[in-house]
Amino acid sequence: MAESAASRFVDQFSCPVCLDGLKEPVTIPCGHSYCMSCITDCWGQKEQGPPYRCPQCRESFSQRPLLKKNTLIAEMMETLQQTALQTAAVDCDVCTTEKSRAVKSCLQCLASFCQTHLQLHYQSPAFMKHKLVDASRNIQENICLSHGKLLEIYCQDDCQSICCLCTDNHKGHSVVSVDSEWTRKKEELKEIKETCQKLIQERERGQRELSEALKLLQSSALETMENVEKVFTELICSLEKKRSEIKEQIRAQEKTEIDRAEELHRHLDQELTELRKRQAEIEKLLITEDQVNFLKSCQSVCVLPTFENVPITQHTHLYFKDVSISIFKEVLEDICQQQTAKISQEGLNISIYYFCELHLDPNTTNNALKLSEDNRKVSFTYKKQHYPDHPERFDRYVNVMCREGLCGRGYWEVECSGKQWAVAVCYKGIGRKGDSDDCRLGDNKKSWRFSFYLQNFYFTHDKKKVSVPAVCSSRVGVYLDHGAGTLSFYSVSEKMTLLHRVQTTFTEPLYPAFFAGYGSSVRIIEEQSLKI
């Protein structure tokens, strides 16, 4: 008998080494697939060393390829094997001698028929109303075990297929025919499949964007490191040159002072010689008794030699006391520290991997705010919105929170317009009713707010307000690292500029929140709009 289509497909996905169906399939760079154990054993043989070759096409690889399970083929093999098992050959229940393969099973007859014996169901009015399905060995599963009747009714309350006699146990329940429920479920599954396909496409796009972002990051990091290496090499050369210049200058000054000191030393030696000679003459006269000779010689020794006035005291401290090299070192270190901090704050952009998908929570929206764009934009409106009463709704302040609470790392961007707006995060327990500080973003210990008001920018937490330099862009980025306790606000244009950073300890999940005053709006930017 001919093999089933599923069986043929299973045979097509066989390993070229063991000739059985692929088990834990891996695909090597040339495109051929093998069982993980087969190709591992093949390349593990003693005679098989670099270069490694494909057993099928003989393409060689200088390095042993990294083997990873091909999940797509593995899932396909599992599905095909299950299908082959379900659609395994079923014999015709009518054939008496050589059994022919059944092509259909009848749910009323509870039997399977070959193409020849099936004709009665197509030709006889008595059998034409019977329900035929693909030939199956599991036909008994369509029969009620309690009553032996066909399971042709579906109870939607109990999510169970039942027969016509089981309805007594399902009184008051919503029941429909199995056919209609099957049709409805198929449509539902088609919608789920489409949604799943969209999610797959979004994730695949995210993977592509992430790969491009990583390539850009690696390229940018390499370029930056090369630039840093160049700058520091030039700086080191410049410092070496300055060091040599300063040393030469010190040596020159040292030689000048030594020459001057030696000249002075010789001059003082001459004067000392003359003075000592005059002193000896005076002492000799003082001990003579010859009064006439004493008076005669006294006139010549009473007048001391005239010497040039030499400022001896200014040479008593010959050292480089005033050369402040230590101050020079401190200034350099201070400049390096400042520039390193600036690079840390402004030079590193937020990566796409932590981008959050946020949605505004209608249950928290103040009645003076209008939601739009699939709950991604909030705008102040002069026409009161009639939202239903809810305990989480802000009833006085024009605030709104997001549905998503964040505990790890996250990044989001918003486009702000108008003259009064705020971008904030808060704990879920922030006050909602009344106009006390417990309900106002930034005026309590449960919220942190970056805001624009009266042409000025501020950061506020627990009523402590910090002025922030003017923002050049209407787009604000927020980066949260909950575990590290950091919250950063950025101005986003062609580059990201750090506006304010908070370092604290967060004890609960944080919810993004926004304030939109008169004529103002805040719009959450979707992920695909993010520029790295």
Ramachandran class of 455: left when φ > 0, alpha when ψ lies in -120 to 50, beta otherwise: left
Q: Does residue 120 belong to any structural domain of this protein? A: no
Strand ranges for 30-97 from DSSP E: 33-35, 52-53, 60-61
**Structural domain of residue 46, as residue ranges?**
5-87
Kind plus residue range of the DSSP H or E element containing 41: helix 36-44
Which residue type sits at 440?
Answer: R
Domain membership flag for residue 103:
no
Please state which of the ranges 141-150, 232-241, 248-257, 472-481 shows the lowest mean pLDDT. 141-150
- The reply to whether 139 falls in a domain is no
| Distance, CA of 35 to chain centre | 35
Whether residue 389 is contained in a domain is answered as yes
Residues 504 and 389 in one domain: yes
- For residue 3, pLDDT over 60 is answered with no
Residues 302 and 392 in one domain: no
Does 69 score more than 90 pLDDT?
A: no
Within a domain: 382? yes
Do 251 and 358 reside in the same domain of the chain? no
User: Which pLDDT band holds residue 9 (cuts at 50, 70, 90)?
Assistant: low
- The answer to whether residue 460 sits within a structural domain is yes
Residues 298 and 407 in one domain: no
Whether residue 400 sits in one domain with residue 299 = no
Q: pLDDT per residue over 234-251, tens digit each?
A: 888 988 998 898 889 889
> What is the predicted pLDDT for the residue at 375?
93
Whether 396 and 307 map to the same domain: the answer is no
The 10s digit of each residue's pLDDT in 346-387 is: 444 444 457 788 999 999 999 999 999 999 999 999 888 989
Within 13 Å and on the Cβ side, how many CA atoms surround 101?
Answer: 10
Q: Indicate whether 306 and 361 sit together in one domain.
A: no
**Sign of the Cα pseudo-torsion (457, 441, 487, 204, in order):** negative
Are residue 368 and residue 310 in the same domain, yes or no? Answer: no
Of 67, 87, 107, which marks where a domain is finished? 87
Q: Is residue 169 very low, low, confident or very high in pLDDT (cuts 50, 70, 90)? A: confident
Which CATH number goes with the domain that contains 482?
2.60.120.920
For position 425, what pLDDT does the model report?
97
Q: Let me know whether 391 and 472 are in one domain.
A: yes
Q: Of 25-29, 360-364, 409-413, give the range with the top mean pLDDT.
A: 360-364
Task: Choose one of 87, 122, 149: the last residue of a domain.
Answer: 87
Query: Same domain, yes or no, for 305 and 357?
Result: no
Q: How many domains does the chain have?
A: 3
Q: What angle do CA 352, 353, 357 make, to 5 degrees?
A: 80
Looking up residue 32, the CATH number of its domain turns out to be 3.30.40.10
pLDDT band at 531 (very low <50, low <70, confident <90, very high): very low
Q: What is the pLDDT of residue 526?
A: 80
153, part of any domain: no
% of the chain exceeding 70 in pLDDT: 88
Whether the pTM exceeds 0.85: the reply is: no
User: Is 472 or 237 the better-scoring residue by pLDDT?
Assistant: 237
Least confident of 110-114, 370-374, 399-403, 423-427: 110-114
What angle do helix axes 178-286 and 291-301 make, rounded to 10 degrees? 150
